[in-house]
A and B are shown apart, each in its own frame.
Chain A
Amino acid sequence: LAKTTQPISMDSYEGQEVNITCSHNNIATNDYITWYQQFPSQGPRFIIQGYKTKVTNEVASLFIPADRKSSTLSLPRVSLSDTAVYYCLVGEPGYSTLTFGKGTMLLVSP
């Protein structure tokens, strides 16, 4: 399984765009990059998943450069309710199980 490295914490203000970068230098050819969000006292929630280039949904965008050794989760115009822990995971669905690290604690202030 590819090891991931992401910042322990980040601070932002309401209305700003937040970019959380995850490093995964030894990502394998068949690995996908997946992000989860976890609020206090809740289970994690799937946000987005991608393989290369850019993926966008109603919640976030995921940018993956050509070498795939890193990825950036972009949250547009965050609000207080986006305060949560964000996990970056790398693996091959169907072959390897999800391995969560400690994630990035995002704190959004007014």
Chain B
Amino acid sequence: EAGVAQSPRYKIIEKRQSVAFWCNPISGHATLYWYQQILGQGPKLLIQFQNNGVVDDSQLPKDRFSAERLKGVDSTLKIQPAKLEDSAVYLCASSSSLVLTRSSYEQYFGPGTRLTVT
């Protein structure tokens, strides 16, 4: 089966500019996640969607970050305006809704988008 797709793979912008990332999860996966991974650290969850509804966005800096998942499939994550500290890899992951009933933390991650803010 096709994996989680993300684009672009790399992006360089100047501070105060805007940027958007796109994610296409595995077909049929109801749950979608966006993570931020700063160099040398583990991924940090930014937002979790169940279909097109938000389950958890407690760690999303809502003054500059926004995310949407229209029609419960693809998702976009936007940063506006970007700051230097936003330089990181942004990972998208998905999991099947059936996972929750199986008591599993199995998520499938995409390759990520490496963002550099100068």
- Please give the residue numbers on chain A whose beta carbons come within 8 Å of chain B beta carbons, in ascending order: 32, 34, 41-46, 49, 51, 87, 89, 91, 93-94, 97-103
Contacts and interface: CB of A to CB of B under 8 A. Distances in A.
Nearest to A95: B100
Given A41-B111, A93-B99, A94-B100, A46 B106 contact: yes
Contacts of B110: 43
Contacts, number: 59
B5 to A, nearest CB: 12
Interface residues of B, number: 26
Given A93-B99, A101-B42, A42 B105 contact: no
Main secondary structure of the interface of A (DSSP, over half): loop
Contact of A103 (B42, B44, B91): B42
A26 B33 CA distance: 26
B42 A42 contact: no
Interface string B83-98: 0000000010100000
Contacts of B108: 46
Given A43-B93, A43-B111, A89 B105 contact: yes
A46 B110 CA distance: 12
Contact of B91 (A43, A49, A89, A101): A43
Max chain A C-beta neighbours (<10 A), residue from B105, B107, B111, B112? B105
Nearest to B114: A41
Nearest to B100: A94
